[in-house]
Structure 1
Amino acid sequence: MSAASHPLTAPQYGMWAGQRMDPDSPAFWTAEAIELRGPLDAGALGKSVFDTLRRCDALHMRYRERDGEVRQRLDASRTVSWARHDFSGADDPWGAAAAWMRADLDRPARLDTGPLFATALLRLGPERHLWYLRAHHIALDGFAYLLLIHRVAELYGAHRTGRAPPPGRDFGLAPVIEEAEAYRWSAQCTQDRRFWQARLQDARVPVTLAPLRPPSDTARSERHRLPAAAYTHWQAGARACGVDWGAWLLAGIGAWMQGQCGTREVTVGLLVMNRLGSRALTVPCMGMNVVPLRLDIDPQAGFDALARQARDTLATLRPHQRYNYEWMREDAGLAGSHRQLYGPVLNLMPFDRGFRFDGLHAEAHSVSVGSVEDMDITVSPLPDGLRVDMEANPAAYGAKALRDHHRQLLATLDAALADPGQPVGRLAEGRSRAA
């Protein structure tokens, strides 16, 4: 990528606009820690991390606003610092490492001067380490993290054994920007804008489970791993309703919200990758979008009917899901405010999050998803289980309230599995029995 300045992609712009509201806030840092158990070759890992992160354009961009226009420019130095810290002597090595990571996430973000990321190796014991990677959300989304982790694991195996490393994919950002600019000025973008303006014209203030509060710099988490069989059961429940598991889960969230609030209208923010068929499919960058998905809930109708409504709504939105959410907010006159067009956010992660580091047992741990406006629900099928996590604004949700919400959501899904034809309004009774 040349040193010339470039426009922002729509997903980048959304993150930039959020950071601009509070320039010193660390709320947009995200982080993952890869736990590595076994005889680690620290030199091979360091070389693999350095080579991978240096090639990733998105991590080395710098952002400036001039005359009302935001542009980005590549920092040609592509600096990568590889810190190493040893917590193995602490009474609680994991707790000491977690405290260090929390402190690291409290650093102010500087989009104009950087850096946009940091990485470190944290030693917890003789054969237990954490590879830590922090990045600003303007640079990486969850799928981008996975692309980088896979490449580091690939290089680690080669460096450790002395094999020639396999050729890497191009992590250049220029093709992604060019594609985004072509869409921005296309007839399709105009059609998408009209679609969303019409759809959101009479949108009500979305229902949430707690009073709205300004977002905090951190999120409160409630994370659980269900047995791997749970995913199989969810898929079977979806088939019984004639839908896929994503639509089934959306209906479950709608039924849960209806039981909690008594509302007949629920609007969920659905995270979408927008990468299939795109140049961003193999480029680590910020490519996610979020679209408001409204469900009109009749408590007397069967859950299976609600699931089919979710399926049909997904099909209606899918051709227009590339239109950026920040543009929707601007069209609705909400720019510069914290007001959102949805309540809880659903993040389905159907892509494979498995990876192999040669000679090691590796497991990814989400350290930070950044700030949360209200509540995010992340569902991720894994080889050994099904992750169902809630992240919430701590100013709105206490720890007990969040635990209760998590338990009640899972109980609602269990009740829907037991009888998919029962009225949505009766699911609360099934939830009480399952709780």
Structure 2
Amino acid sequence: MMAGDASLPLTGPQLGMWAAQRIDPDSPSLWTAEAVELEGPLDLAALDAAIRETLMACDALHMRYEAEGEGVSQRLCEPRNVALAFDDYAGCDAPWDSAWRWMREDLLRPADLGRRPLFATALIRLGARRHLWYLRAHHIALDGFAYLLLIHRVAELYSAKVGGRAAAPARDWSLASVVEEEARYRDSAAFAHSREFWRQRCAGMGEPVTLGPKCAPDDSARSSHLRLPAGEHLRWQSAARALGVDWSAWLIAAVFAWMRARSGADEISVGLLVMNRLGSAALSVPCMAMNVVPLRLRLQPQWSFAELAREVAAELRELRPHQRYNYEWLRQDLGLGDSYAQLYGPVLNLMPFDRGFVFEGLDSRAHPVSVGSVEDLDLTVSPLADGVRFDIEANPQAYDAATLQAHHRALLALMEAALADPSQRLDELDGACAREAA
């Protein structure tokens, strides 16, 4: 852990969240949240201790941010405090619905990166053997992988306690190593090379195509959630191998074809969320390390889906050496700071990492509650042991519920058509998309 009186500069991913919050300082739109459902004979004392120990150890949750001239720094708030709230909805007619209403209302609390805590947590009782552990955190503190690190540690500590054994030693979750590693990168030739790559790649980019009107993000998002059968991911993998690409390139190609079919435009840009953790200090530190890279293609109507998938795979190979260059740095390079202007339409988050965890003696399952601010559309695809999570979050100012669900149906229909016959031309796939969304 870093000393309480030490200050650190912000990493690129943190800077992006700081800049977004600064546009509307009190906006709650950058809160994120997850809830872990626990079924079985819960040991409340063991869970309470596990949550407190885990959240106390996470530097990123206890930072405060302060503007310094043209820059900003972060400093630990000491002493660290973890307040675990308790709510009981077991006596309600609809405990699950009541708990979700409470969580959605909690996400509307104003944010204050300088003076207020960056997180809140609660244990919600739904019945004698059913609970929800809720964690809300500002996106400047945690990304999706960071939530998983925290949940795994809570599960590990809880299981050790109820199992009567010693837990694994505490992790070093100091942010200092992550900040220092990024500083070395910014002084490297690789940083300068990637900066020039992105400046050339994005020069002259027009307004990105979206499926709805351009609107400032709302305080909350509109959601369309689907759980596909577990075998669906195997079908994607098989189809991708037949084309000589991996499943992520296949799925990204489907998103491009869908965007073309729904918008009528041939030049499409999507934002790809990249984890940037493998081989880095951030691999084991819960923090905000995610980056977004813009992927732009000019599609040709006569391309087959197979050709599009191979084009996507080639572009991904081009971008991969440069995906560490942070999107906020690129926005500043292009003069887009302090605005909502973006270089992409929808954002695609492919989550290939294992989200499994074990609370001894309990059945457990994570439920995403909020992904934070949504500029346009955020697509999340996460293969799980019991199915595939396939969600779309939308800016509610730009998409009503019926429109969002129609887009979701159209995307699934296009994917099914591509699975059936990848030799179909893009203009032929347009028809399958339109029929399903009608």
- State the TM-score, normalized to the length of structure 1: 0.99
Distance 2:244 2:268 in 1: 21
Q: Could you tell me whether the CA contact under 8 Å between 1:240 and 1:420 is conserved in 2? A: no
Counterpart in the other structure of 2:424: 422
Partner of 2:260: 258
Alignment of 1:357-368 (within 5 A): 357-368=359-370
Q: Which residue, 258, 267, 270 being the options, matches 1:268?
A: 270
Counterpart-to-counterpart distance in 2, 1:21 and 1:392: 20
Compute the displacement of 1:165 (Å). Answer: 1.1
Match of 1:388 in 2: 390
1:165 corresponds to which residue? 167
Does the 8 Å CA contact 2:331/2:337 hold for their aligned counterparts?
Answer: yes
- CA-to-partner distance for each residue in 1:270-328, whole Å, 9 max, x for gaps? 00000001000000000000000012211111110100000010000010011111111
**Sequence identity percentage:** 61
Aligned counterpart, 1:403: 405
Secondary structure of the residue aligned to 1:347 is strand
What is residue 78 of structure 1 aligned with on the other side? 80
Whether the 8 Å contact between 1:141 and 1:286 is mirrored in structure 2 is yes
Aligned to 1:374: 376
2: CA distance, partners of 1:355 / 1:301? 42
Q: CA deviation at 1:434?
A: 6.0
Q: After TM superposition, what 4+ stretches of structure 1 lie above 3 angstroms from structure 2? A: 430-435
Q: Residue in 2 aligned with 1:63?
A: 65
Partners in 2 of 1:123 and 1:430 — Cα distance?
45
User: d(CA) in 1 for partners of 2:202 and 2:145?
Assistant: 28
**Unmatched segments (≥5 aa) in structure 1:** none
Q: Give the one of 308, 311, 318 matched to 2:313.
A: 311
C-alpha contact 2:33 2:370 (8 A) present in aligned 1: yes
Q: Which residue of 2 aligns with 1:41?
A: 43
Contact 1:268/1:344 (<8 A) preserved: yes
8 A contact 2:225–2:392 mirrored in 1: yes
Deviation at 1:346, TM superposition (A): 0.2
Counterpart of 2:43, as a letter, is: D
Cα offset for 1:403? 0.4
Q: 2:146 — aligned with what? A: 144
So what's the TM-score if we normalise by structure 2? 0.98
Alignment length, in residue pairs? 435
CA distance in 2, matches of 1:434, 1:219: 24
Aligned equivalents of 1:168, 1:415: Cα separation in 2: 49
CA contact 2:261–2:433 (8 Å) conserved in 1:
no
Aligned pair partner of 2:303 in 278, 301, 304 = 301
Q: CA deviation at 1:228?
A: 0.4
Aligned-residue offset at 1:265:
1.0
Letter in 2 for 1:263: A
Q: Deviations over 1:215-239 (max 9, x none)?
A: 1010000000000011011111111
Once the 2 structures are TM-superposed, how far is the Cα of residue 168 of structure 1 from its aligned partner? 2.8
* Worse overlay, 292-301 or 409-418: 292-301
Shift of 1:433: 6.0
Q: What residue in structure 1 maps to residue 33 of structure 2?
A: 31
Note the C-alpha offset of 1:187: 1.8
* Corresponding position of 1:345: 347
Paired residue type of 1:380: S
Equivalent-residue separation in structure 2 for 1:53 and 1:376 (angstroms): 28
Distance 1:146 1:221 in 2: 21
> What's the CA shift for 1:147?
0.3
The match for 1:234 among 224, 233, 236 is 236
Give, in angstroms, the shift of residue 432 of structure 1: 5.0
* Paired letter, 1:358: E
- Alpha-carbon distance between aligned partners in 1 of 2:307 and 2:31, rounded to the nearest angstrom: 40
Letter in 2 for 1:393: N
- Aligned partner of 2:131: which letter? H
SS at match of 1:363: strand
The letter of the residue matching 2:7 is: S
Contact 1:345/1:377 (<8 A) preserved? yes
Whole-angstrom CA distance in 1 between matches of 2:135 and 2:69: 34
Letter in 2 for 1:102: R
Displacement of 1:178: 0.4
Distance in structure 1 (CA, Å) of the matches to 2:434 and 2:262:
12
Give the 3-state SS of the residue equivalent to 1:380 in structure 2.
strand
Question: What's the CA shift string for 1:170-191, capped at 9, x where partnerless?
Answer: 1111100100111122221111
- Return closer, same or farther for 1:284/1:418 CA change in 2, 3 Å cut-off: same
Residue 89 of structure 2 contacts residue 126 of structure 2 at CA under 8 Å; is this kept in 1?
yes
Greater shift, 372-381 or 296-305, is seen at 296-305
RMSD: 1.0
Note if contact 1:151-1:168 (Cα within 8 Å) is conserved in structure 2. no
Q: 1:94 aligns with which of 93, 96, 106?
A: 96
Which segments of 5 or more consecutive residues in structure 2 lack a partner in the other structure?
A: none
Whether the 8 Å CA contact 1:88–1:123 is kept in 2: the answer is yes
* Structure 2 Cα separation of the partners of residues 61 and 339 of structure 1: 28
